[in-house]
Amino acid sequence: MNPAKFVPRSAAGHGRFAPSPSGDLHLGNLRTALLAWLFARSTGRGFVLRVEDLDRARSGSEEHQLADLAAIGLDWDGDVVRQSERLPRYETAIARLHDAGSTYECFCTRREIQQAASAPHAPQGAYPGTCRDLTNSERAALRATGRAPALRLRATVNELTITDELHGRYTGVVDDFVLRRGDLTPAYNLAVVVDDAEQKIDQVVRGDDLLPSTPRQVYLAHTLGLPVPAYVHVPLALNSQGQRLAKRDGPVTLADHLAAGRTTSDVVAIIAASLQLNGTTPAELLDRFDPAQLPRTPWVVTQ
């Protein structure tokens, strides 16, 4: 692993936290939010919130999430942005790609993709290009069956190497990934690239489970002529069995801890200790924050 170089600087850009409103935030989510805030504020950046609500959203989740972030002492700049209110921007980006000949319709079902991707020649996790070179008559025949096509990017590379400030150089797959699903919903990889550029996000701090998606996003940003942010993929929180922490793992939300008699300061202190920091407020942690000293291994949350 290459050592990261963290140089505090005054920046016109922003960091961000972008939760999906699918339920209450657990300790791992709060930890990532706190890290994103610390990285942004320690480098003179603004900090914004974006609700990524293009997929399933649970009623009341956004309000609970924002309340929890404020309760532990995080602040943000400007209004909260919601992806569901930005659909025309994604369509504009798709139109640019279409006009450049960089898209095609895909009629594959998920099962068909999984079966095709199991072939020995297909890189793990990559779309095998089944629909890439369909003729007009073949597309018309598939459309006549009632299949609603997704729209894919016509990539010109198979992989891309990016640099992450914790992981160093990372090479990952770039395939013909989905830009818009068959139900006309913009896909995550497209929306996040468009949003980050428009919001002047030049530092992305998020869980390292998203590191494999980053080469695709960087490639798409280059294709659209958009700036590429600095990436910091931080270790996840895991349960005692070494699995990604989830709300089913017991008392892992802020509300759970408050119900057990802890305070928000106690919860911040627990998260801080997992980062080898001492403090009970984000402001206290900011004074002591040294990214080079962050743990590089997952945080195992024990009850």
* Domain assignment present for 61: yes
Element (H, E) at 48: strand 46-51
Question: Residue 114 and residue 5: Cα distance in Å, rounded?
Answer: 39
Residue 188, annotated as binding a ligand: yes
**Is the residue at 186 inside a domain?**
no
Cβ pair 24, 64 in contact under 8 A: yes
Instruction: Check if the beta carbon of residue 163 is closer than 8 Å to that of residue 169.
Output: yes
d(CA 29, CA 203): 18
169/135 same-domain check = yes
| 20 annotated as ligand-binding | yes
- Residue 58 among known ligand-binding residues: no
Angle between helices 188-198 and 87-99 (to 10 degrees): 100
**pTM (two decimals):** 0.92
* Residue 247 annotated as part of some ligand binding site: yes
Number of structural domains in the chain: 2
Assess if residue 250 is contained within a domain.
yes
Each residue's pLDDT, cut to its tens digit, for the chain (303 residues) gives: 333 344 444 457 999 999 999 999 999 999 999 999 999 999 999 999 999 999 878 899 999 999 999 999 999 999 999 999 999 999 999 999 999 999 999 999 988 888 876 556 656 778 999 999 999 999 999 999 999 999 999 999 999 999 999 999 999 999 999 999 999 999 999 999 999 999 999 999 999 999 999 999 999 999 999 999 999 999 999 988 888 888 787 789 999 999 999 999 999 999 999 999 999 999 999 999 999 999 999 999 886
> Residue 116 belongs to a domain with what CATH number?
3.90.800.10
CATH number at residue 290: 3.40.50.620
Q: Where are the beta strands (DSSP E) in 89-214?
A: 103-106, 150-153, 159-164, 168-173, 178-180, 203-207
Specify if 23 maps to a domain.
Answer: yes
User: Does any domain span residue 214?
Assistant: no
Same domain, 41 and 105: no
- What is the sign, positive or negative, of the torsion defined by CA atoms of 212, 217, 222, 227? negative
Catalytic site includes residue 247: yes
Domain assignment of residue 210, yes or no: no
Comparing CA positions, the residue from 7, 81, 22 lying closest to residue 247 is 22
Q: Which tokens belong to 133? A: 């070179």
In a domain, 194, yes or no: no
Q: Is residue 156 part of a domain?
A: yes
Q: Which of 247, 257, 262, 288 is catalytic?
A: 247
- Enclosing domain of residue 133: 88-180
